[in-house]
A and B are shown apart, each in its own frame.
Chain A
Amino acid sequence: MSTRESTGGFEKVEVHPAGAPTPVPASPHLSAPPLPAEPLVKIRPRSSWVALDLADLWSYRELLYFLTWRDIKVRYKQTALGAAWAILQPLFLMLIFTLFFGRVAGLAPGGVPYPLFAFTGLVPWTFFANAVSSSGNSLVGNANLITKVYFPRLLVPMAAVAAGLVDFALSFVLLIVIMIYYGVRPTWQLALLPALVLLTTLCATGVGLLLSALNVKYRDIRFALPFLIQLWLFVSSVIVPSSVLPERGRWLLALNPMSGIIEGYRAALLGQPFDWTSLSVATLGTLAVLACAVVAFRRMEKQFADII
């Protein structure tokens, strides 16, 4: 072995090709920043159940921002209509629903014109549906990231939901226009709107997390997703109010948080009385879905890079 090895190898000296080796001026780093006494990162085989590492998630908040920003930036690239799609989707659904269901007498309660009734439901629903579908496919769509770099995997489906908020805001503008057209007067109940938006976001995140994680292992999800969302639309009080259902069947709707949430939007926007029971059930349901989703996601997460 060469004696030079003991000096730590020749890369530690900056040398002039024709001159004698001269030591590198000690850079601030060379004095080695004091290492923490405890490891910054401990890597261990994980047991199946792991807690949510909120500190880790928080330290990556900027990445959430960038992933969301990317999703927004890229979504309408190379489309002719661009962000107009955000408005066109619920608008066309409203027109179709009005055409088919609007004539059926007694559908819209409280003297609300059917187009308005449908649109107040369709705007949050479109957000929810798009958020669930894009976050459900998000992990598989970002496989190149998952297999090449570490970051909390939760961020990917979360960013997909967050990116949907921009479209949501755009379609809300149209909603306001339609509300003005029908002469709806704002009431204090609008104050509950932010809470409802938060609830919708959480619900979409919960469902999206669950589906995105399952999608990694079972690509069936990709095919089941559009179908699932379509079915869900019919039981979410978007097309018809829950009041048209027979009394004994209504508890079933209550199990679906989106039904209570969408009725909540209507009440807030159109100044109708809130159904506090169904709102509370929806809130509890949303939190339960979210909690289950996070637990399940964390459990499946460790396999992502291996099987995606």
Chain B
Amino acid sequence: MATIIRVEHLGKQYRIGGPSAAYSTLRETLVGAARAPLRWATRKRGEGHNGQSRIWAVKDVSFEVQAGEVVGIIGRNGAGKSTLLKLLSRITEPTTGSVDLYGRVGSLLEVGTGFHPELSGRENVYLNGAILGMARQEIAQKFDEIVAFAEVEKFIDTPVKHYSSGMYLRLAFAVAAHLEPEILIVDEVLAVGDARFQRKCLDKMRTVGQQGRTVLFVSHNMPAITRLCPRTIMLSEGGVLEDGPSHLVVSTYLNSGLGTVAAREWADASKAPGNDIVRLRAVRVVTEAGATIEAVDIRKPVGIEVTFDVLREGHLLVPNMAFYNEESVLIFMAHDTEPEWRARARTVGRHTSTAWVPGNFFAEGSITVDVAVSSHVPSVEVHLHESDAVAFQVIDSLDGDSARGDFAGPIPGVVRPRLRWTNEFRGEEASSASAAGVLANSPTAAR
């Protein structure tokens, strides 16, 4: 395979703050030029003045991508992902270093770039296609396919300002999904649309990868990264922190505590979810050792720890929770049924309840948890309910001792239990008898 993208010591510096930063006025520049005409003429790149500070959004980044590779790019907000993509797609220019691209680049930093609300769906498809670098003929050829993919056939001649936001995004993504450059650069665009459409887009992207096109894919969706990209580059503070097989890089990322959705805390009790009986104070996703964890090994148990304050005596309180997968399918609900507080009113003070989900239960993917505390006796009353309280990723590594065994492909399904299988060997005679029958009935199989 040949190198299609070569990035060497790439750097991009931005000015922040200071008197003549982004928003300068003509007057300031004129006055400045009048005061120091020579400095204006001779000022060099990278030379700070007036004490303004500069930051490197991307610094000394080097990597190569082979033709046909699908590479994920991850990193915290502000790690330089977006700047890197902007540099590679030529939207902004580097301060240092170089990039060589051995193919046409299509970049998709946003869906629906250039969509105009007053134009019809049809007109926007052409306009958007042209903006993304498609030839008119190419768009015309793919037009029906694009409209069918977006599922907006009926409204294609309606101005898009009358579209629902879902329709708008579907149409926008459909155009982008039909781009066919040799190198496709995709930013977090899959975070839009409903779950079913997201799935469709992921599938579409996967076919893009399979056609031998090179894809750079930035996302916060770690299951998508591990599924789509064999290789992942992790950025931190503008530089490459790790570059390697996705499942390794992704678990480093998730375990480095860079993620934050696995723990929530309500410091101000008055603003915490709840009522005058009970208030939610914290929710965490925890390991058996008690550490907060965002990426859960599919084989390991995971606990959801709910901390709440009971403010009033005399209520039977049942912490409970609901688990959803990334398609918003409710996987299951759970109530605290332990005898400890089951028939006994909770005392005033802080309580912590942890629900343990066994290992080898969830399917791979991202799991979101709703947390609630309610009373069921004498009457059903929900004291607090927090949707999407915490989330975590379930990672199915390829180590071979999870339910996936040696099977490397995507496995559908809401849960992925590792079942006990029993096997019996019934002896050779039984098989040879029936095999004889099969052979007798199938002439082509006879030697």
Contact = CB atoms under 8 A, between A and B. Distances in A.
Contacts of B90: 41, 43, 150
Contact of A45 (B94, B109, B398): B94
Nearest to A37: B102
B107 A40 contact: no
B70 interface: yes
A77 B123 CA distance: 14
Contacts of B45: 45
A73 B92 contact: no
Interface stretch (A21-29, A126-134, A188-196, A198-206): A21-29
A14 B210 CA distance: 9
Contact of B89 (A29, A45, A150, A221): A150
A66 interface: yes
A217 interface: yes
Contact of B119 (A40, A73, A219): A73
Interface stretch (B19-27, B315-323, B417-425): B19-27
A217 B22 CA distance: 8
Contacts of A305: 86, 91-92
A147 B91 contact: yes
Interface string A211-249: 000100111110000000000000000000000000000
Nearest to B397: A2
Interface stretch (A5-13, A110-118, A179-187, A255-263): A5-13
Given A5-B245, A10-B409, A32-B67, A41 B101 contact: yes
Contacts of A45: 45, 93-97
B113 interface: yes
A13 B131 CA distance: 33
Given A13-B409, A29-B212, A43 B101 contact: yes
B412 interface: yes
A82 interface: no
B96 A149 contact: no
A67 B4 CA distance: 31
Interface in B84-130: 86-105, 107, 109-110, 113-114, 116, 118-119, 123, 126-127, 130
A307 interface: yes
A21 B119 contact: no
Contacts of B102: 35-36, 39-40
A7 B98 CA distance: 30
A50 B95 CA distance: 16
A42 B100 contact: yes
Q: Max chain B CB contacts within 10 Å: which of A13, A44, A305, A306? A: A306
A218 B24 contact: yes
Contacts of A63: 130-131
B218 to A, nearest CB: 14
B138 to A, nearest CB: 10
Contacts of A17: 409-412
A74 B118 contact: yes
Q: Max chain B CB contacts within 10 Å: which of A1, A14, A214, A218? A: A218
Nearest to A8: B230
A39 to B, nearest CB: 4
A39 B119 CA distance: 37
B206 interface: yes
Interface string B327-342: 0000000000000000
Contacts of A149: 89, 91, 107, 109, 113-114, 131-132
B113 A144 contact: yes
Contacts of A80: none
A302 B100 CA distance: 18
B213 interface: yes
Interface in B275-311: none
Interface string A139-153: 000101111111100
A40 B230 contact: no
A33 interface: yes
A144 B101 CA distance: 25
B399 interface: yes
A4 B93 CA distance: 38
Contact of B101 (A27, A39, A78): A39
B91 to A, nearest CB: 5
Contact of A148 (B91, B130, B248): B91
A17 B75 CA distance: 32
Contacts of B411: 17
B29 interface: yes
A15 interface: yes
A43 B211 contact: no
A2 B91 contact: no
Contacts of B27: 220
Nearest to B135: A62
A40 B409 contact: no
B25 A43 contact: no
B397 to A, nearest CB: 8
A151 B105 CA distance: 11
B210 A11 contact: yes
Interface in B43-93: 45, 67-68, 70, 86-93
A69 B126 CA distance: 11
Nearest to A13: B409
A70 B98 contact: no
A151 B114 CA distance: 13
B100 A9 contact: no
B264 interface: no
Contacts of A147: 91
12 contacts: A1-B245, A2-B245, A5-B230, A13-B409, A14-B210, A35-B3, A36-B103, A43-B88, A62-B135, A145-B113, A218-B26, A220-B27
Interface of B: 1-4, 6, 14, 22-27, 29, 45, 67-68, 70, 86-105, 107, 109-110, 113-114, 116, 118-119, 123, 126-127, 130-133, 135-136, 182, 206, 209-213, 227-231, 245-248, 397-399, 407-412
Give me the 5 closest cross-chain CB pairs, A-B, nearest first: A9-B230, A15-B409, A10-B408, A39-B100, A29-B212
Given A2-B399, A14-B409, 4 more contacts: A36-B103, A40-B104, A144-B114, A221-B26
